[in-house]
Amino acid sequence: MTIKVGDSVPEATLMKMTADGPAPVDTADLFAGRTVALFAVPGAFTPTCSAKHLPGFIEKAGELAARGVDEIVCLSVNDVFVMGAWAKQSGAEGKISLLADGNGDFSKALGLTMDGSRFGMGTRSQRFSMLVKDGKVVELNVEEPGAFKVSSAEHLLGQL
């Protein structure tokens, strides 16, 4: 079942690269008592993700914060080392938390996976964005396959 507006975000453990190495991030702690803009991409370093999706959120980070967003999170079914390298390469460090859903457990719990096997990627997250307030989904924007419109930073800003 796919998560919808009004639902609570499922509990899972994601991973974040820190100066001390990989560290777990519990979703209950991540979302509790805060407003979080979460967007998911099919893969780090992939064309649309690297050229449009992540850069849009980096560019709009200040505007999102000014409208009450406590943290911006980029999620991908990649390992924590890839997400750490992508954060450095993209200039996202200090602006956006790039979190690894290594086995896709969180994406599966959200009901927002896609089959990327035809591209050699296996099961990945769909491209989407959501606004979460105190653990509850208040906005959810899921892209059609191959599209990049409703999950953009600009679109999410318009919903705030």
Q: What is the largest CA-CA distance in the chain?
A: 41
Q: Of the residues 49, 69, 75, 132, which is catalytic?
A: 49
In the residue annotation, 49 being an active-site residue is answered as yes
Q: Name the residues annotated as catalytic.
A: 49
